[in-house]
Amino acid sequence: MAASYADRLQAIYPDGPYNLLGWSFGGVVAHEVAIELQRRGCEVQHLVLLDAAFIASKLITRLSAKRVKVVARNQALVQGQVLEYILRANCIDVPAQSGPLTYAQAEELIHQRDAGEFVLPPRQLLEFMVKSFNASQSYLLQHTPEVFVGDMAIFSAARNGNEHGLGPRSRWRGPRIRLATRSHLRSWRPHVAGDITERPVDCTHYEMLTARSLALYGQQLKRLLEP
């Protein structure tokens, strides 16, 4: 995956230097792409991760792998989590519920909130998103990062909400997957041969790219990426 992304970047911008940024699983990918570009003799000017973590403990990895398999078999659960993220990312609150959110329930919430022209993605696209979610969790559990030679910045979500950062009022727990570590800096330290700066953001994991959250750290990010 990292080699494929590096190929695409070099095809568009062959001379570099490169600024790489990734959120969540994308942050882990960005770190590996940075290593791949360095392996090719390219300069990586900035590497920025948005609330991205991986599992460093073998014990936690084994336990999480079992949870991933359980969740992957329960498509309704994963679909409910994806639907919750889509709604909350568009400022639509999801009330407490006794089970996974369904497509019909999500549509009704949009109607109740009078969310203007916002519509859910088609069911076929939602199914693709669920498959992508399952695949990314599997890749993450199997991944062992190498070492990036350079500095790295991390913007980390300061609020947990619940285990997925979907908000404090969702009672549905199920076998949710928690892949984040207590400290991003601690988990990434062995894999960065340079300085790591971590900046907390007053949001949950799934709110990192909302307009409200970007307003909190956007200027910091802009200054960080300036030459």
DSSP string, 6-36: HHHHHHHSTT--EEEEEETHHHHHHHHHHHH
Q: Assign residue 143 the CATH number of its domain.
A: 3.40.50.1820
Q: Of 145, 147, 156, 143, whose CA–CA distance to 192 is shortest? A: 147
Question: Which domain range does residue 187 map to?
Answer: 2-225
User: Which pLDDT score, from 0 to 100, does residue 76 have?
Assistant: 80
Q: Among residues 151, 1, 140, 134, which one has the least CA distance to residue 75?
A: 134
pTM of the predicted protein model: 0.74
Residue among 46, 13, 16, 17 at smallest CA distance from 31: 46
- What is the rounded distance in angstroms from the CA atom of residue 29 to the CA atom of residue 49? 10
pLDDT tens-digit profile, the chain (227 residues): 899 999 999 999 999 999 999 998 899 999 999 999 999 999 999 999 999 976 554 434 444 445 555 555 577 888 888 888 888 878 788 888 778 889 999 988 888 887 667 889 899 999 888 888 777 777 777 778 899 999 999 999 998 754 333 343 343 333 333 334 347 888 899 999 999 999 999 998 888 998 899 999 999 999 999 87
Count of C-beta atoms within a 10 Å radius of residue 108: 11
Q: Is 32 helix (H, G, I), strand (E, B) or coil?
A: helix
Structural domains of the chain, count: 1
CB 81 within 8 A of CB 54: no
What is the model's pLDDT at position 94?
86
Q: Residues 58-87, buried b or exposed e (16+ Cβ, 10 A)? A: eeebeebbebbeebbeeeebbbbbbbbbbb
> 179: buried, middle or exposed (CB in 10 Å: 19+, 13-18, 0-12)?
buried
Say how many residues make up the chain. Answer: 227
CA distance 207 to 195: 26
Between CA 145 and CA 136 the distance in angstroms is 15
- Beta carbons of 51 and 156 less than 8 angstroms apart: yes
Q: What is the rounded CA–CA span in Å between residue 158 and residue 209?
A: 14
Structural contact between residues 91 and 210, judged by C-beta atoms closer than 8 angstroms? yes
In the numeric block, which tokens belong to residue 127?
A: 């199914």
